[in-house]
Structure 1
Amino acid sequence: ELYRADVADPAAVEAMAAAAEKRFGHIDALVNNAGIAQQKLFTDLTAADWDRMLSVNAGGVFHTCRCVLPGMLRRHSGRIVNISSIWGISGASCEVHYSASKAAVIGFTRALAQEVGPSGVTVNCVAPGVIDTEMNANLSPETLAALCGETPLCRIGSPEEVADAVVFLCGGKARFITGQVLKVDGGFLGG
């Protein structure tokens, strides 16, 4: 079943989480993968651009965790995986607000992992590199070729490769991993 919400809207997120919990009884894993992107020079950014980017990319993580985490804490069990970006680690030209929002997700992940770890809940982050998604569909063939050239594996990643990392972090084999940022970037950022 599919439940949708504007993650920037706390009431919509609460309704979505309540519907999922009603249907399934409880939520074992939360993957925060909603996000938006925009390329703009910093000097052209508006306050509305900044606010929307942060409210979706960082605020959405806050709202969903706030709704789902209490049940995980009661059960002393749960997995949270937040999707950031390599640009949240390194920053990207013409994407200051995007990079800042994704860096916020990394800081949120590390701090929440420390807070809820004693209750048996793990919180990790996946930072994808350049992935073949709708978000990158607007990149020119020349830009994609250049990005492939900068990637040691010499290609763009697939959504399935990111999903594999998320599934691992949600599973039992990752039960002693928390507060980590796993780069799925083909080596783009290096060590």
Structure 2
Amino acid sequence: MSHDPAALKVAIVTGTASGIGAAAAAELESRGWTVAGFDLRPSPQCSFDACVDMANPEEVRAAVARVVQEVGPVSAAVSAAGYYEMLPVSEITLDHWRRMLSVHVGGFVNLSRAVMPGMTTAGGGSIVAITSELAIGGGSHDAHYAAAKGALLGLVRSLAAESAPSGIRVNAVAPGPTDTPLLAADSPWRAPEYLSTLPLGRLTSPEEVAICIAFLLDEGTFCVGETLNPNAGAVI
């Protein structure tokens, strides 16, 4: 595939098969980015589509190398791949903990480590992690999910401080409950009793989260180690 690297803005977005990842890919493509989508399922809306287990560092490294070879240098990466699970803490097994952390924290680490050398050589880049308002406010029956998302906040701030001298900006977006397939129809986050507690009275949309992501990549060049919170007022 021939390409002119100078004419491309290449972004890798993970979790692009649905939800926030899919919305982010669509928003970035509409803004002129060439998006490489990483997911375990197909992401046909992306310019480049790869089946990748984000918890596997070798798979991530190989997929990033393919993007650079076939599309062009990567100047942005968005770690949106993840899953949600509600369990009382007494039922969270060691395997539950390991999987949650390996997908959310490990996925972000694997993606960052794979793209940062190229960004450093290019003199800059931008990385965005999708965390959650539960990382800030916590929630009943969400301990392993909130812990993984909370770890991302500390990781983003630390990596931001380490990477900024190389011109790489690292930031986060922490959505509240978002209207995606991750929330089942009977989810307590969709219940009218919960929605009535939100200042906006509704769920956040994936398109709104995508706008925050795009802002951090395009306009928010002054943002380093920051967290945007599109959560309908769940945490103020």
Same fold (TM over 0.5): yes
Shorter-chain TM band: over 0.9
Identity of aligned residues (%): 38
2:88 corresponds to: 41
Match of 2:129 among 57, 61, 82: 82
Match of 2:209 among 154, 162, 177: 162
1:182 corresponds to: 228
1:130–1:147: 8 Å Cα contact kept in structure 2?
Answer: no
Structure 1 residues without counterparts, runs of 5 or longer: none
Q: Tell me which amino acid in the other structure corresponds to 1:186.
A: A
Matches within 5 A, 1:32-181: 32-140=79-187, 143-171=190-218, 173-181=219-227
- Measure, in 1, the Cα distance between the counterparts of 2:94 and 2:149: 18
Cα-to-partner distance string for 1:5-62 (whole Å, 9 max, x where unaligned): 1111111111111111112221010000001111111011110000000000111000
Asked if residue 31 in structure 1 is aligned to residue 78 in structure 2, the reply is yes
Q: Secondary structure of 2:51's match?
A: coil
Cα-to-partner distance string for 1:42-101 (whole Å, 9 max, x where unaligned): 011110000000000111000010000111111111010100000011111111000000
- Measure, in 2, the Cα distance between the counterparts of 1:139 and 1:35: 20
- Measure, in 1, the Cα distance between the counterparts of 2:189 and 2:215: 33
Cα-to-partner distance string for 1:90-143 (whole Å, 9 max, x where unaligned): 111111000000001111100000001111111000000011011112534785
Structure 1 moving runs of 4+ over 2 Å: 137-144
- Measure, in 2, the Cα distance between the counterparts of 1:134 and 1:92: 20
Compared CA separation, residues 134 and 72, structure 1 to 2 (3 A): same
The structure carrying a bigger helix percent of its residues is 1
- Measure, in 1, the Cα distance between the counterparts of 2:62 and 2:185: 33
CA RMSD of aligned residues (A): 1.3
1:17–1:68: 8 Å Cα contact kept in structure 2?
Answer: yes
Compared CA separation, residues 10 and 124, structure 1 to 2 (3 A): same
Bigger Cα displacement from structure 2, 21-30 vs 96-105: 21-30
Q: Secondary structure of 1:2's match?
A: strand
1:126–1:166: 8 Å Cα contact kept in structure 2?
Answer: yes
Task: Using structure 1 for the length normalisation, give the TM-score.
Answer: 0.95
How many residue pairs match? The answer is: 189
Shift in Å, 1:176: 1.0
1:2 corresponds to: 49
Structure 2 residues without counterparts, runs of 5 or longer: 1-47
- Measure, in 1, the Cα distance between the counterparts of 2:132 and 2:55: 19
Compared CA separation, residues 139 and 128, structure 1 to 2 (3 A): farther
